[in-house]
Structure 1
């Protein structure tokens, strides 16, 4: 699943014309292959799993609501949200990085190593929790049971297996967690950052690769995890560095009126 490739390494600009040094994407993906210590690495996966309630039971009112919303989402196929979801299939995509930078009001990239460290370490913890939940619940994706078109081409490959299981949504979790963390780093932008975090999950429903409750589950897991990592001394130290760093970073261009 793309989320885990970059459990929180942000890509930036494409490579420049030849000859050129490694692009930001190359550097970030190389870093993703290296072990990264999380903030609550001492917590066993079972403990992480307890941060999240189970998905709706088959036939329950919540399950019926999920299926209704999935059917209704076909109305948006090809529309603006559908196209936006395509542009953010990966959390290392330039579009995703642009969206989070605009919400933050600061250009994320080589000039923000402390901020990226903050997101990467939290992403390592989150990946453990999301992986544990997906493997435990093994909830099928909506297109695998109720059929229908999805905006992600991996949904059409081998029954959608490249995307993994549905619950909880990794994109929803990482968008919400980063929104919370970056709100700590730049409180004046909290409204924009939480709006970004929410939209990250909403786009997965528009893409038709997740049930609505998968997105809710991702946000619940992210919130519970945030409460734990934000109390650690390592997080507080990294946060202080990020705050100082972001005060010196230029505002990104092309974000529109805010």
Structure 2
């Protein structure tokens, strides 16, 4: 494993200021997302202020990251490769059903809150993708096998799936502290699936990790969502 590339700048932005979309949504959810005004200030989360630049194309660091992606994919068992495929198809909070011990789609207040947090995160991540236009691993090496779940070859940085995993996972860990270790482990493993799939570099995932945690914490504390947060806590507290 190579060393972590960066501590995402989103942490620094959050401290300084206050101390997708990567996913294709179903029509009904897309209509809701379009109707909802963003709770985040786009200027505060502008890509140049939120994310450190990814490793330059054809750089030594890009080559090291590509080597890691290939090694992870080569070492993965058929079962882990199949899981990575499934994870790529599950870009929504139900990816955490097992970790939470809940059928999250059947908890209306919780699911609405989590998908709102995911959409807000995706807005920021999608702006970063448009800004950086980083090639995915299989864009750097067209001969590399991959899952086919990276929709566009030059939208690698940051990761939309990673943004979902860490925004939803972090929110759930805050809402269900007794389940936090399993939830965080699931977020980490889900993010790893994107490397095993060959559609993201490690620094893509780290960038999403940083900003998603900041956004989840920000929104859980937002008074405009206080009633939703309280309702979600009540749902999740039930056996």
**What TM-score comes out, normalization by structure 2 length?**
0.80
Q: Deviations over 1:179-230 (max 9, x none)?
A: 1101122111111111111111100000111111111111112122223223
Q: Once the two structures are superposed, what CA deviation does each residue of 1:92-142 show, in whole Å capped at 9, x if it has no partner?
A: 58xx72x411111212123x1100111121122111101100000000111
Superposition map of 1:1-258 within 5 A? 3-6=22-25, 29-36=26-33, 37=36, 40-41=39-40, 43-44=41-42, 47-49=45-47, 50-58=49-57, 60=59, 62-76=61-75, 79-91=78-90, 97=94, 99-110=95-106, 112-147=107-142, 148-152=144-148, 161=152, 165-248=155-238
Unmatched segments (≥5 aa) in structure 2 = 1-19
Per-residue CA distance 1:213-254 (angstroms, 9 max, x = gap)? 111111112122223223311233311110101223x6xxxx
Q: Structure 1 residues 62 and 120, CA, compared in 2 at 3 Å: closer, same or farther?
A: same
Larger Rg: 1
Q: Considering only aligned residues, what root-mean-square deviation do their CA atoms show, in Å?
A: 2.5
Listed as ranges, the gaps of 5+ residues in structure 1 are 7-28, 251-258
Residue 61 of structure 1: how far off its partner (Å): 5.0
Tell me which protein shows more helix as a share of its residues: 2
- Count of aligned pairs between the two proteins: 216
Which stretch has the larger CA shift, 228-237 or 217-226?
Answer: 228-237
- The separation in 2 between residues aligned to 1:225 and 1:2, in whole angstroms, is 15
Structure 1 counterpart of 2:13: none
Moved more, 71-80 or 129-138: 71-80
For the residues of structure 2 that align with 1:145 and 1:182, how far apart are their CA atoms?
Answer: 35
1:16 maps to which residue? none
Give structure 1 regions of 4+ aligned residues with deviation exceeding 6 angstroms.
Answer: none
Give the Cα–Cα distance (whole angstroms) in 2 for the partners of residues 164 and 32 of structure 1: 26
C-alpha offsets along residues 137-186 of structure 1, whole Å, 9 cap, x if unaligned? 0001111112300022x56xxxx63x661001111111111111011221
Q: TM-score, normalised by structure 1?
A: 0.74
